[in-house]
Structure 1
Amino acid sequence: MLTYLLIAVAIFVVYKLFSKKTDDAEETFEPIEFQKFTPRTLSKYNGKDDKRVLMAVNSRVYDVSASKNHYGPGGMYENFAGRDASRGLAKHSFEIEHLTPLDRPIDDLKDLTEEERSAMLQWAEFFGNKYPHCGDLVESL
Structure 2
Amino acid sequence: MSEAQILLYNFKDENRLRQIRRYLNRQKISLRMVQPSEYLESLGFLFEIPGFAKNSVFNLGQNFQEEMMVLNGFSSQQLDEFLAFFKENSLPPVALKAVLTPVTMHWDSMKLHEELMREHAATHAR
TM-score (normalised: structure 1) = 0.28
| Larger Cα-atom Rg | 1
